[in-house]
Structure 1
Amino acid sequence: MIEASTVSIVHDDARLAGRDAADELVDVMGGRPDFVLLFASAKYEGRAVLDGLRGRLGGGVRIAGCSSFAEIDGKGGLTESVTAMGFRLGSALRVATLLDVSRDGDDRGLGRRLGERAQALDPSLILVFYDSLRCNGPHVLRGLQDALGATFPMVGGGAGDLGEFVRAYQIADGEVITGGASIAVFSGPIRIATAARSGWIPVGGEHRITAVEKGNVLLTIDDRPALELYQEYLGPRAAAVASLAVEFPLAVVGGLEGTCRPAEGEIAVLRAVAGIDVQRKALLLGGDLPEGTLVRMTTGTRDEVIRAAEEATAQALRSLPNPSCALLFDCMARKLVLGTRYRDELKEPMARLGSIPKIGFYTHGELSPVDGVCMCHNETFTLALLEG
């Protein structure tokens, strides 16, 4: 049976923050955990945090995690912390951690290598943390699915920094890397319930992606310059497109490779507009969109974004009413859009989840199943409930 506890530490010294997190975990759990899930603010040097943690826990404790834009603990969202969840797994459940770096830009190969190594461990669930600043998240995911199958349960998100988009790091046991992915592989009996909701609403008609470069540089929609059509949708606000884009992601409504088309009016996955290329009249997306994909524009209010997190939590709890713990992966863009109200988004989920241990971070891309197939999302609130 899973036993878990979460601690959060804010300290000016990264090594001491890691050490204090380890001390608190040992104190609240009455001994060393078997596994630690670790999310550390990118303000901290990852090597120092890990050295402080392992210096107290010893080398026998498995550790996986990454740098974060902001963190989530049992009380809600917080910033510039070291947040850790310790697990005791019992005799039937095991966890292993794996790490690898992307080679020659082959992110799908990175995912495939990790998936093949994980497959040998008889996995039942995998937590994935990839470098969102140097790796293509959807490609890493597809590589994992090449090895494990499209319906294998995976959750997690993209490691990031504090918004400079310069350097993120990934952690597994005693190693800290950039440009790769770390995974935690659970083996044995474990139940999981997941949900993903955004709160954005599709508006207008369907449009087809007709030209894409490098997977995420959207050149044309309906054979028109993508930026031109997007600005047309924004109307009087078009002049401020660079600052407004994060508030108006594209909704994939026609399904993606390996997935089913969603019901009418529903969103399968969002793609954030992360930037614009004025010269080429192109949109720079937060994830891949293959040519031929059907999309719609979206709109949404802060209240609708907040309500989506409540709906996702309620959905997951209907599937697994008595979880042992909750993992939350929330997009950094949602925090930016919500501004001073970002803590409001987590109030109702925290209340619904009650006293169970909770941990998460604000991601640069979220991994969560939709209709049984894991997908890489943008601007979406996702959570996973575990029972074992």
Structure 2
Amino acid sequence: MARFGDALATGADLVSAAERAVLQALRPLDGDPDLICFFVCGADPEEVTLAGERVMAHAGEALSIGCSATGVIGGGRGVEGQGAVSVWAARLPDASLTPFRLDVLPEGDHLAVVGMSEPEPTDRVALLLANPYEFPAQSFVERSTDALGGLPVVGGLADGMRGQDSVRLFFEGGVADAGAIGVLLGGPGIVGTAVSQGCRPIGPAMAVTKAEGNMILELAGVSAYERLESLVNALPQEEQELAAVGLHIGIAMDEYADRHERGDFLVRSVVAADPEMGALTIGDMVEVGQTVRFQVRDQESASSDLLERLQSFDADAPGRTAAALLFSCNGRGAAMFDAPEHDVRSVQRTLGADAVGGFFAAGEIGPVAGRNHVHSFTACLLAFEG
């Protein structure tokens, strides 16, 4: 008998799929579950709600948490854009589970997030699911490292097949369409987190010598636009094409490293280039003195980066990974790879994890170099020991 189980069921009747998935996920457990995580993809928001309620009805005394999505992961598969339910169940008898629900309230001229539980010294990680249309996930996660005493946060941003009005969050028997939900996990049995950003660097690392907010004006004393233009012109044709369709930039997380290679950067998109100003606008704030390096992303880069991150994680892990929760970008799956199960099968094959559940997120949450961030086009992992 096992401590973990997972299952994925599809079908026109989403409630029936939920029933089949939860029963199959619970079947291998050697006792009652302590934690059930589940994810529902469906065209009808009301049917998604009923499917989530059906899973929670089988939770018993277990803590249940889940959300709607445009694709789900489980049973060694990934399913996108059609009715499907993924359920992941775990027996964690020696772990502590502290659920929390976050809401946003006006406070003066800004919004305040309320409901976060104070972490205990034994807490190892926070699992977070959020409605990105109704909750300031980016700012909350960016501040969470300091606010939670360095506690890693991992998870994803929910979505629905009909956009904003179809997002659902499932939490301890109830259903919400706003805010965020999560659980603090403490004690033994938690291996750790891993984040694959799926990019590879091009060109040299350069210092930011002039910047304003999220605009880079100068790199190594030269117009940022000119630096980019000369770099792209020197690339092989294939890499020029990659840069034209999806150029990114990596912000070094350790300024004192002797070298800055793949995995040393927080990757953000280049959202605009202004030749007149000589400026590049990126998807994050940047400061003078930081080191950056341009990045490209393609199927080969994303696949090799995930493999490298998983191998490094496995080598450093304190114990064998028996199960994992996986949050992959909704821009990965079949949009990036030959099949939507690329990420989950890579995790199973590399880590030897039997039970892997998760969903294709509208944004992924995970730590890079000790600080929590919301990402895009990444795969974020929370691993558990057998």
| Aligned counterpart, 2:102 | 100
Shift of 1:183: 0.7
Shift of 1:341: 4.7
Q: Give yes or no for the alignment of 1:188 onto 2:184.
A: no
> What RMSD in Å do the two structures reach over aligned CA positions?
4.0
Query: Partners in 2 of 1:263 and 1:197 — Cα distance?
Result: 22
Q: Give the alignment's TM-score, normalised by structure 2.
A: 0.78
Contact 1:193–1:317 at 8 Å: present in 2 too? no
Shift of 1:127: 0.8
| Letter paired with 1:265 | H
Shift of 1:306: 0.8
Query: Partners in 1 of 2:111 and 2:203 — Cα distance?
Result: 34
Alignment gaps of 5+ in structure 2: none
Query: Partners in 2 of 1:211 and 1:16 — Cα distance?
Result: 54
| Aligned counterpart, 1:334 | 332
| Aligned counterpart, 2:87 | 84
| Letter paired with 1:250 | I
Query: Partners in 2 of 1:167 and 1:261 — Cα distance?
Result: 45
Q: Give yes or no for the alignment of 1:15 onto 2:15.
A: yes
Query: Partners in 2 of 1:108 and 1:127 — Cα distance?
Result: 22
Q: Give yes or no for the alignment of 1:171 onto 2:170.
A: yes
Q: How does 1:189-338 map to 2 (within 5 A)?
A: 189-205=188-204, 206=206, 208=208, 210-212=211-213, 218-219=214-215, 221-222=217-218, 247-253=246-252, 255=253, 264-266=259-261, 267-272=264-269, 288-292=284-288, 294-320=291-317, 321-335=319-333, 338=336
Specify which structure has the higher proportion of helix.
1
Distance 1:120 1:351, change over 3 A: closer
| Letter paired with 1:65 | G
| Letter paired with 2:91 | R
Contact 1:108–1:143 at 8 Å: present in 2 too? no
Query: Partners in 2 of 1:135 and 1:226 — Cα distance?
Result: 34
| Letter paired with 1:304 | S
- Structure 2 counterpart SS, 1:57: coil
Shift of 1:358: 1.1
- Structure 2 counterpart SS, 1:333: coil
Contact 1:101–1:178 at 8 Å: present in 2 too? no
How many aligned residue pairs are there? 367
Query: Partners in 1 of 2:126 and 2:34 — Cα distance?
Result: 16
Query: Partners in 2 of 1:15 and 1:262 — Cα distance?
Result: 52
| Aligned counterpart, 1:63 | 64
| Aligned counterpart, 1:215 | none
Q: How does 1:335-374 map to 2 (within 5 A)?
A: 335=333, 338-354=336-352, 356-374=354-372
| Letter paired with 2:284 | D
Deviations 1:282-304 (A, max 9, x none): 9886x533454543321244212
Query: Partners in 2 of 1:225 and 1:82 — Cα distance?
Result: 50
Shift of 1:78: 2.2
Query: Partners in 2 of 1:189 and 1:12 — Cα distance?
Result: 40
- Structure 2 counterpart SS, 1:340: coil
